[in-house]
Structure 1
Amino acid sequence: MVFSESNRKERWMASALTSAQITWRYRIFVLTWLGYAGFYLCRKNLSVIAPELKDMGMTDMQYANYIFAYSLMYCIGQFVNGVLSDRFGPRTIVGVGLFLSVITNIFLGFSGTVFVLVLMLCSLNGIGQSTGWSGLVKNMACWFRRKERGVVMAWWGTNYVLGGALATMFATYCIYRMPFFSEYGWRSGFIVPALLLSVIATGYVLFTRNKPSDVGLPDFPEDDDIESDSQSGDSAAGNAVHHTSTSIILEILSKPSVWIIALMYFFLKLTRYAFLFWLPIYMAEGLGYSGEEAGYTSSIYELIGFTGALTAGYVSDKIFQSRRFPVGTLFLWGLGVCFFLHPTIASWGHLANAVGIGLIGFLTFGPDTLMTGAAAQDEGSQRGAATAAGFINGVGSIGQMISGYVVAVVTGAYGWNALFYLFVVFAFLSGALLASKWNHVPEFRKKV
């Protein structure tokens, strides 16, 4: 029996890796990668433009209000769009979000600095941007097996790491150096990235599909240990029962591991978005950099973060047998140490500051990518991957939503160094949450 089941597994794996399936996997990977990286063209540009807007009279509290408006809609959208992507498919939901982000950024470029108008457009951009992560994680979950996801999602998760870095540099180039467009100053930082995103959005909608069966290929079974009787019996029956949106939501919310990841991500995303939106301002005001220098230097956070995302995925799959929680724990505790040391390191000069920011990026994006990508897919399975990713990212987005106020209040009262010491607490607390599930594996694997 074992021998026959083993042979069945080998035959299935061989049939799964046909040239057509491999081609479609590459296509889905590349287009979804570009899709989410593209979102950052119309997300990260605001942080580069912010120093210019401050020179025109924007206050820290107004900037915090922009971030709050964007993040509030992004947060609400995470909870809603994850469910919508599971129900209607990510191609439709993400496609709408991409084009909404394009439109709002073009209008931002022509909006002037009218507070209420900018606030409204930032809110609409948040709605569009909120379709991206949960929908595209769902897209990827349908094309890759669980044992592949740690490594695959590590590479795929570089979309927002490299995407954020490249978007920062591109917006900086548009504002200060791009021929013709730089004449329009900060406005070009909204308009030109939006035009590029429109091209990416068109490619995504035209050339992706939600799952293999949409193009006549066999869908991948969720459990990669397909030789077990569970896959052909109990798991198949379970898939037949748990098919409504309500039942999927209840199933996801009944898992303590999902809540732990979500609570961890509240603190981690608060921290990451503080860096995403405020790092150029920190370098300009706290360290005396020029606007252009701050824009380019802040991209180091994500450029080095790229290697952290890859490292976390490989370590999870190759050393910890696809367990995500131990890797996240170790990275977060290391992050706490770096936050504690950074105020001292930054005082040593530009190079030392760049190294410190790079280390923080490495240790931030490792657990960020791993726990919101591969771990969310594991907990939600193909059926509920978008719902799980949307819930985790939604809770994290509550932290994102208040990050601007945390930065404005703490730095206004106590200075920039105090903010780093607050992040020490957040990092160690986040690591402790994940450590409580050190040996956790998803429920469907325990049944085999």
Structure 2
Amino acid sequence: GVIEFSMCLFFAKLVSYTFLYWLPNYIKYSSTYSPSQSADLSTLFDVGGIFGGIAAGIFSDMFGKSACTCAVMLFLAIPSLYAYNLLSSVNLIVNIALLVIAGGLVNGPYALITTAVSAELGTHSSLKGNSKALSTVTSIIDGTGSIGAAVGPLLAAYISNLFGWTSVFYMLMGSNVLAILLLTRLVKRELQNVG
């Protein structure tokens, strides 16, 4: 599961860090808010991420299915990103609600993979108690995710300049689809172990 979760985290961090770097600019572009107001408003995405990380941990512990938890949240993030792009300029309340929801669904899987999943994989019985395995597995997973964190904002700059912000959102939604596809084998295995 290390490869699957590593590549999933690549795309999850790509989406998360694109928001981290570009959300204030997007809010300013798509609304009448000042740069300062846009920056303040963008912090609500991270507030949602706090709740999303907690929810991901609770669901993963409750059901014992980390891959399923990540896949469901990544799947639900797709319509939330679409809705944010479409409806964020309606009014402040809608913008706030969509930011918190999208933040939770985007950052929940990211938080789960970098913490609980890494620890779970690093202490797997197949590693026969190798104490160095935890740091190696965590480094592989988080390092792969960090590449996505670097690529996402660069792609967003390029795509927004050439095709506009809607295309950036399609790129983010496509990244979530790829993250889900990468988890398919693990999700199937978790669902087969029901009972």
Aligned residue among 103, 107, 131 for 1:361? 103
What SS class does the counterpart of residue 347 from structure 1 fall into? coil
Partner of 1:422: 171
Partner of 1:334: 76
The reply to whether residue 300 of structure 1 matches residue 44 of structure 2 is yes
Matches within 5 A, 1:5-154: none
Q: For residue 313 of structure 1, what is the amino acid of its counterpart?
A: G
Question: How many Å apart are 1:432 and its aligned residue?
Answer: 2.1
Question: How many Å apart are 1:287 and its aligned residue?
Answer: 2.2
Aligned residue among 257, 263, 268 for 2:7? 263
Question: How many Å apart are 1:440 and its aligned residue?
Answer: 4.6
Q: Deviations over 1:28-75 (max 9, x none)?
A: xxxxxxxxxxxxxxxxxxxxxxxxxxxxxxxxxxxxxxxxxxxxxxxx
Matches within 5 A, 1:41-440: 257-318=1-62, 320=63, 322-381=64-123, 383-438=132-187, 440=189
Work out whether residues 325 and 439 of structure 1, in 8 Å CA contact, stay in contact via their aligned partners in 2: no
What SS class does the counterpart of residue 33 from structure 2 fall into? coil
Q: For residue 317 of structure 1, what is the amino acid of its counterpart?
A: D
Alpha-carbon distance between aligned partners in 2 of 1:401 and 1:288, rounded to the nearest angstrom: 29
Alpha-carbon distance between aligned partners in 1 of 2:173 and 2:84, rounded to the nearest angstrom: 10
Q: For residue 73 of structure 2, what is the amino acid of its counterpart?
A: F
What SS class does the counterpart of residue 331 from structure 1 fall into? helix
What SS class does the counterpart of residue 179 from structure 2 fall into? helix
Partner of 1:224: none
Question: How many Å apart are 1:283 and its aligned residue?
Answer: 1.4
Question: How many Å apart are 1:271 and its aligned residue?
Answer: 0.9
Alpha-carbon distance between aligned partners in 2 of 1:353 and 1:365, rounded to the nearest angstrom: 18
Q: Which has the higher helix share?
A: 2
Partner of 2:127: none
Work out whether residues 80 and 102 of structure 2, in 8 Å CA contact, stay in contact via their aligned partners in 1: yes
Q: For residue 375 of structure 1, what is the amino acid of its counterpart?
A: V
Structure number with greater CO (CA < 8 Å, separation at least 6) is: 2
Distance 1:439 1:316, change over 3 A: farther
Structure 2 gaps, min length 5: 124-130, 191-195
Alpha-carbon distance between aligned partners in 1 of 2:83 and 2:52, rounded to the nearest angstrom: 19
Structure 1 gaps, min length 5: 1-256, 442-448
Q: Deviations over 1:269-299 (max 9, x none)?
A: 1111111111111112332321221121111
Question: How many Å apart are 1:356 and its aligned residue?
Answer: 1.3
Structure with higher Rg: it is 1
Distance 1:288 1:414, change over 3 A: farther
Question: How many Å apart are 1:401 and its aligned residue?
Answer: 1.6
Count of residues in Structure 1 that have an aligned counterpart in Structure 2 = 183
Q: For residue 273 of structure 1, what is the amino acid of its counterpart?
A: Y
What SS class does the counterpart of residue 436 from structure 1 fall into? helix
RMSD: 1.6
Q: Deviations over 1:109-152 (max 9, x none)?
A: xxxxxxxxxxxxxxxxxxxxxxxxxxxxxxxxxxxxxxxxxxxx
Q: For residue 176 of structure 2, what is the amino acid of its counterpart?
A: A
Q: Percent identity among equivalent residues?
A: 26
Q: Deviations over 1:297-350 (max 9, x none)?
A: 1110011221111111111111x2x22111011000001121222222113122
Alpha-carbon distance between aligned partners in 1 of 2:171 and 2:85, rounded to the nearest angstrom: 12
Alpha-carbon distance between aligned partners in 1 of 2:188 and 2:17, rounded to the nearest angstrom: 29
Q: Deviations over 1:74-94 (max 9, x none)?
A: xxxxxxxxxxxxxxxxxxxxx
What SS class does the counterpart of residue 437 from structure 1 fall into? helix
Work out whether residues 30 and 89 of structure 2, in 8 Å CA contact, stay in contact via their aligned partners in 1: no
TM-score (norm 2): 0.87
Partner of 1:58: none
Alpha-carbon distance between aligned partners in 1 of 2:144 and 2:120, rounded to the nearest angstrom: 18
Question: How many Å apart are 1:402 and its aligned residue?
Answer: 1.7
Alpha-carbon distance between aligned partners in 2 of 1:289 and 1:386, rounded to the nearest angstrom: 44
Q: For residue 8 of structure 2, what is the amino acid of its counterpart?
A: M
Work out whether residues 325 and 438 of structure 1, in 8 Å CA contact, stay in contact via their aligned partners in 2: yes
Work out whether residues 323 and 440 of structure 1, in 8 Å CA contact, stay in contact via their aligned partners in 2: no
Q: For residue 413 of structure 1, what is the amino acid of its counterpart?
A: L
